[in-house]
Amino acid sequence: MSDAPVIDVRDVVKTYDDGRTLALDGVSLTIGKGEFVSITGPSGCGKSTLLHAIAALEEPDSGQIVVNDKEITGQRDLSRYRAREIGLIFQLHNLLPNLTASENVQIPMYEISISARDRARRADDLLGLVGLTGKEKKRPTQLSGGERQRVAIARALANEPPIILADEPTGNLDSKASQQVMGVLRDIQREKGVTLVLVTHDIEVAREADRTVSMLDGRIEDTGPG
Amino acid sequence: MSFFLLIFSNLMRQKTRTGLTVLGISIGITTVVALGIFVNSAKAATEELLRAGGADFAVGRSGSADLTFSTVTEEEIADLEAYDEIEHVSGVLIALSQVGSNPFFFQFGINAEDLEFFEAPLVEGRDLAAGATDEIMLGTGATSELDATVGETIELRDINFTVVGIFQTGATTLDGGSLVPLAVVQELERKPGLVTLAYVHTRPGTDIEALAEQIEDDHPNLTTLLDLGDVGDVDQGIEILDAVNLGITILAVFIGGIAVMNTMVMAVFERTREFGILRALGWRTRRILQMVLGEALLLCLIAAVFGSVLAVILTQFITLFPVVSAFITPQYDIEIFLRGLAVGVGVALLGAIYPAFRAARLSPAQAIRYE
């Protein structure tokens, strides 16, 4: 882990419903390279909105977000940023039902220059990394909840991004599957040295991080070790 | 997995919907292609008629509503024969009547002497004899349809004729009909001294176009028919067919376009969340556009192939009926199938542009939240 800021969120404000709902109220946060940070708090506190803003899925009303020394706020098309700089994991695995596990992992790779054969090889390697060797040809309906989420983790790693953003990745899993998924995430974060930002309302999951950021009513209330 | 296979896989997610859409578009394309085949076949048959008997060109009455209504007088034929460049003029009176199961059996009334110039190569028997009034020559198509051979007697318009020869020219209309003494046809049609068309054989080295122009200048009531483009002067049928064909093509594009739009809009709405995920995973708007347009295009290309095959089967089936086969032999020109393909592409673009842009312009965050 390094203290060099990879993600720098500066006084970010985000509202919905024409300003009537305040989701982020001047949030500032820095995250270092290779750091594992969990963002926790009750429902509606703004933790997912913050993650979406860092993922360039939501445009803040004001403030700045700088990732790897590049400002992502106010940019017109951030597809390249999303394809190469970050890997996203959702609460619901969001796998395409008509594709196999391997094909799902290949989805982000369509945006980088790589042959179909290399795409398939890399996808199978990543599935091996998350413990799904032999399940490459399985469709999402043929996998358990935990396995689907591990496919989603492999997909997030597809383009070897330096940052993984995970939004409640264990939210829909039982405790055993949750432990497996967190184990995979932790191992990958350590082995690959990626920066991991994980949103969760589960205190036990949050404690596994190097640092925990607690949010309430759109503001960061507390920051402390995991 | 290649991008193409991904597109194909997306189409296969809703097999029934995809199948029904393909079927709907196919029917439109079948109509366009089949009609195109028949229009081209009719044009080819008309063109064959203009060059019947190996003539360099035909001469008809200017302004006739239909080719068969054209009338050229014996005096005008004599005038034509007076041109130095013209070697011979064969006057032919075209008539139609029912024979057997064929309600449109062609009789080409011609003088026996003209058969020296009017090429109707014999397969069997001999030409009409000069002065004979009870002889008939049958084309090979007519022979097989009437099951008649040389020496047999057939009844045509209450008159018994002896089949004296069987000919084959390669022209569907001629080969499906008969050559009958001109005087007999003139009497049956009550058109004494008249023929439908004058078939002109020129001397070698003649500038045919200049001659045709001269004839039209000298005889404003006559029109020379060198190729299909001249047929409009004596027959609006081809132009009407072309207009109908164009109209149906435009209709097919619009109706097909609505079918594709319906399918693609439904697919885009159902997959709103999926498009959000793809955008969140880094897909550019352009790639989403490519995927949705690709799905529509593939759908329509499958329909174009299916529709074209169906059109060929349909035209083959229709030409089994003597009423059709007497006039035309299906012409499967590549241009017709390219038109079917163009209709497919047109339908795909028309139907998919709105849903594709809608999918591409979705906000990733809103799309992910979409239920």
Per residue in B320-330, pLDDT tens?
887 777 677 88
Across the interface, of A57, A77, A84, the residue whose CB is closest to B280 is A57
For the record, the structure tokens of A171 come out as 């939210």
Q: Calculate mean pLDDT across residues B107-125.
A: 93
**Shared-domain flag, residues B69 and B126:** yes
- Of B238, B258, B243, nearest to B328 (Cα)? B238
Q: How far from the centroid of its chain's Cα atoms is residue B100's Cα? A: 25
Residue B364 C-alpha, separation from nearest chain A C-alpha, in angstroms: 6
Which SS3 state, helix, strand or coil, does residue B236 take? coil
- Of B325, B298, B263, nearest to B102 (Cα)? B325
**Shared-domain flag, residues B256 and B206:** no
Range(s) of the domain holding residue B109: 63-220
Tens of pLDDT, residue by residue over A131-163, are 899 999 999 999 998 899 999 999 999 999 999
Q: Calculate mean pLDDT across residues B61-69.
A: 81
- Residue A223 has a pLDDT of 81
**Shared-domain flag, residues B106 and B140:** yes
- Residue A4 has a pLDDT of 63
Q: Inform me whether the C-beta atom of residue B16 falls under 8 Å from chain A C-beta atoms.
A: no
Contact call for B281 and A88, based on CB within 8 A: yes
Q: Inform me whether the C-beta atom of residue A77 falls under 8 Å from chain B C-beta atoms.
A: yes
Q: How far from the centroid of its chain's Cα atoms is residue B226's Cα? A: 19
**Assigned domain for B213 exists:** yes
For the record, the structure tokens of B49 come out as 């008629």
**Shared-domain flag, residues B82 and B212:** yes
Tens of pLDDT, residue by residue over B300-318, are 899 999 999 999 999 999 8
Contact call for A116 and B284, based on CB within 8 A: no
- Residue A3 has a pLDDT of 58
Q: Inform me whether the C-beta atom of residue A148 falls under 8 Å from chain B C-beta atoms.
A: no
Tens of pLDDT, residue by residue over B147-191, are 889 999 998 888 999 999 999 998 888 898 999 999 999 999 999
**Shared-domain flag, residues B68 and B216:** yes
Strands A163-167 and A86-89, sheet pairing: parallel
Please state, in angstroms and rounded to a whole number, the distance separating the CA atoms of residues B29 and B24: 9
- Residue B167 has a pLDDT of 95
Angle at A91 between CA A22 and CA A82, to 5 degrees: 75
Residue A165 C-alpha, separation from nearest chain B C-alpha, in angstroms: 11
- Residue A92 has a pLDDT of 81
The amino acid occupying position B200 is: V
Q: Inform me whether the C-beta atom of residue A150 falls under 8 Å from chain B C-beta atoms.
A: no
**Shared-domain flag, residues B165 and B269:** no
Per-residue pLDDT for A38 more than 90? Answer: yes
Tens of pLDDT, residue by residue over B337-352, are 998 888 888 888 888 8
Q: Calculate mean pLDDT across residues A53-63.
A: 93
Range(s) of the domain holding residue A181: 35-40+75-225
**Assigned domain for A128 exists:** yes
Please state, in angstroms and rounded to a whole number, the distance separating the CA atoms of residues A134 and B168: 71
Q: Calculate mean pLDDT across residues B338-367.
A: 84
The least confident of B110-119, B189-198, B315-324 is: B315-324
Residues 6+ away with beta carbon under 8 Å from B53: B90, B92, B117, B118, B119, B120, B169, B199
End-to-end CA distance of chain B: 28
**Shared-domain flag, residues B154 and B213:** yes
Is the pLDDT higher at B196 or at B24? B196
Is the pLDDT higher at A131 or at B93? B93
Answer whether A10's CB lies under 8 Å from A66's CB: yes
Contact call for A90 and B287, based on CB within 8 A: no
Please state, in angstroms and rounded to a whole number, the distance separating the CA atoms of residues B297 and A127: 33
When pLDDT is cut at 50, 70 and 90, the band that residue B370 belongs to is: low
Answer whether A199's CB lies under 8 Å from A167's CB: yes
Domain count, chain B: 2
Tens of pLDDT, residue by residue over B279-303, are 999 999 899 999 989 998 998 899 9
- Residue A1 has a pLDDT of 47
Residue A55 C-alpha, separation from nearest chain B C-alpha, in angstroms: 8
**Assigned domain for A60 exists:** no
Per-residue pLDDT for B355 more than 90? Answer: no
Q: Inform me whether the C-beta atom of residue B281 falls under 8 Å from chain A C-beta atoms.
A: yes
**Assigned domain for B326 exists:** yes
Per-residue pLDDT for A2 more than 60? Answer: no
- Residue A76 has a pLDDT of 81
Which SS3 state, helix, strand or coil, does residue B164 take? strand
Domain count, chain A: 1
Tens of pLDDT, residue by residue over A105-119, are 999 999 988 899 999
The amino acid occupying position A102 is: S
Please state, in angstroms and rounded to a whole number, the distance separating the CA atoms of residues A131 and A134: 9
Across the interface, of A81, A96, A103, the residue whose CB is closest to B274 is A96
Long-range contacts of B129-135 (CB under 8 A, 24+ apart): B129/B164, B132/B164, B132/B181, B133/B181, B133/B183, B133/B184, B134/B159, B134/B160, B134/B161, B134/B162, B135/B161, B135/B162, B135/B164, B135/B181
**Shared-domain flag, residues B109 and B213:** yes
Find which of B272, B281, B287, B363 to mutate to test the A interface (most A CBs within 10 Å of its CB).
B281
The amino acid occupying position B347 is: V
**Shared-domain flag, residues B263 and B195:** no
- Of A221, A202, A213, nearest to A25 (Cα)? A221
**Assigned domain for A87 exists:** yes
Q: How many other C-beta atoms lie within 10 A of the C-beta of residue B324?
A: 18
**Assigned domain for A57 exists:** no
- Residue A226 has a pLDDT of 62
Per-residue pLDDT for B51 more than 70? Answer: yes
- Consecutive H or E run containing B206: none
When pLDDT is cut at 50, 70 and 90, the band that residue B233 belongs to is: low
**Assigned domain for B172 exists:** yes
With pLDDT > 70 as the criterion, what percentage of chain A qualifies?
A: 98
**Assigned domain for B233 exists:** no
Within 8 A of B371 by CB-CB distance, chain A residues are: none
When pLDDT is cut at 50, 70 and 90, the band that residue B234 belongs to is: low
Residue A17 DSSP label: T
The least confident of A28-42, A50-64, B209-223, B237-251 is: B237-251
- Residue A214 has a pLDDT of 93
Q: What is the mean pLDDT of chain B?
A: 88
Tens of pLDDT, residue by residue over B245-283, are 888 888 888 888 888 888 878 877 888 888 888 999 999
- Residue A198 has a pLDDT of 94
Q: Calculate mean pLDDT across residues A42-59.
A: 92
When pLDDT is cut at 50, 70 and 90, the band that residue B239 belongs to is: confident
**Assigned domain for B58 exists:** no
**Shared-domain flag, residues B189 and B72:** yes
Q: How far from the centroid of its chain's Cα atoms is residue B148's Cα? A: 29
| Portion 117-136 of A in contact with B at CB < 8 A | 119-120
Residue after which a domain boundary falls, among B164, B193, B220: B220
**Shared-domain flag, residues B143 and B288:** no
**Assigned domain for A99 exists:** yes
Indicate which CATH number applies to the domain containing A81: 3.40.50.300
Please state, in angstroms and rounded to a whole number, the distance separating the CA atoms of residues B265 and B370: 16
**Shared-domain flag, residues B76 and B197:** yes
